[in-house]
Amino acid sequence: MSEPRPDRHDASDPDDTFEEIVDEATQRDPDLAVIEAGSRTLRAHSGQPQGEAVPARPADPETDKALRAVEQELAGRWGETKLEPSVTRIAALMDVLGEPQRAYPSIHITGTNGKTSTARMIEALLNAFELRTGRYTSPHVQSITERISLDGSPIEAERFIETYEDIKPYVEMVDAQQPYRLSFFEVLTGMAYAAFADAPVDVAVVEVGMGGTWDATNVIDSTVAVVTPISLDHTDRLGTTPAEIAGEKAGVIKPGATVILAQQPVDAAQVMLKKAVEVDATVAREGMEFGIVSREVAVGGQLVTLRGLGGEYTDIFLPLYGAHQAHNAAVALSAVEAFFGIGAEQARSLDIDAIRKAFASVLSPGRLEVVRSSPTVVLDAAHNPAGAKAAADGISEAFSFSRLIGVVGTSGDKDVRGLLEAFEPIFAEIVVTQNSTPRAMDADELAAIAVEVFGDDRVQVEPRLDDALEAAITLAEEEDEYAGAGVLVTGSVITVGEARLLLGRG
């Protein structure tokens, strides 16, 4: 597949026509030329995407009421963490919907940490090359509509509601035919695939919910499979070693696909490589076929030079903190190169200006996100030890806090001790709390573990998140010598989302 070239026409020019763009692209892959022409014709009418990261509740009371009704109906189904290892129900839904997931090519992303940030980067890169994108990620930070995005923006609440109402009769049909009703995540997956086909999109960027083989998203035939770093998480469902977890996640690798493999534990990498050989997939490995050439901290993020499948890409500003985000960027770049056939079919690079523009536009809410100053409050959705270690390293590198106060609220099914131990070296004090969901670990139970890790004198308990935030900010402000103190809110995507709202970012 050839590289799209965004510099030939102004996509906002009303005189651009489908035929003109196709005629102009005769020296390129004809299928891609038609796809790009269709995208630009649509954008001439709809305008460029706004890239809103986290939408607020609908301003219209009736729309908000309708969205809440949909949310309530979805919440009445099996939750995301309750699984029956089968794609039977989602496959049945796709069948009655007319197989919408086959209406566009897709890039499928699995792994333990970094999936959503990598998906956002891939989406930005594809948008920079004038392709219409659909992105499906989970969980959401604040609004359920974040999970389904078109051209970099969450779909509007009205469209979310319409999509649900459109597929609802088919969902009920499948429910009646199956031993178990479709789950919350399966219905949302069906909505995403239907919305992408209806848009229509040129390519879908799809993040698994959990695992791979039996994940509801795994009814697509992706040409590119991305595997972000694998570590221990969901061990009660996916396995107790990286190799066992990799065996489940390897299910996203389809025959003849290209696998973009981030740095992995040796046993996990071996499983992935074996799977690739079995299905005749091509593998590109971070540190071998692609990777980071250089990286330095910059104001508001970092400056990186990346080596992709087709060459070196210099002086890229990434407005995200932490070495882990630079690794995510290398993975995302190579995934997009693979999608365009670079490295296997073609030995050339993508346009560097487009790459720089795309990365500079990336947002990743709740990932070392600064939401307040004086004192500085940072949010990070780390919820397992590996994620906590990456966040701790990132905040130590990018910020020069004289003292850092942690606000931590976790889910009860996580390796809480491992997470706390990763943060212990950087937290002067910790305020333990809990979010509003039934999955949240009780604050007193969390405090008992925190005392064992931090010592009694460094732990404060505030069961209500708003009280916890106030207590942490007070601790950060209490003495003049701590004028450079900060607060990090972490432990769960849900905790971060609720904190984001309380701090006025919703």
290 backbone dihedrals φ, ψ, rounded to 5°: -155, 170
22 burial (CB, 10 Å; 0-12 / 13-18 / 19+) is middle
DSSP state of 10: -
pLDDT of residue 55: 81
Q: Is the pLDDT of residue 37 over 80?
A: no
| Residue type for position 410 | T
Query: What is the DSSP annotation of 102-126?
Result: GSS-EEEEE-SSSHHHHHHHHHHHH
319-343 residue pLDDT tens: 999 999 999 999 999 999 999 999 7
Over residues 157-161, the mean pLDDT reads 97
Residue 455, token pair as written in the block: 């010592």
Angle 157-177/61-75 helices, nearest 10 degrees? 30
Who has greater pLDDT, 388 or 345? 388
| Omega before 425 within 30 of 0, i.e. cis | no
Q: If you compute the radius of gyration of the chain from its CA atoms, what whole number of angstroms results?
A: 23
For the cut 80, the answer to whether the pLDDT of residue 382 exceeds it is yes
Q: Is pLDDT at 146 greater than 90 in this prediction?
A: yes
For residues 40 and 212, which has the higher predicted lDDT (pLDDT)? 212
**What is the rounded average pLDDT for all residues in the chain?**
87
- Cβ contact 432:472 at 8 Å: no
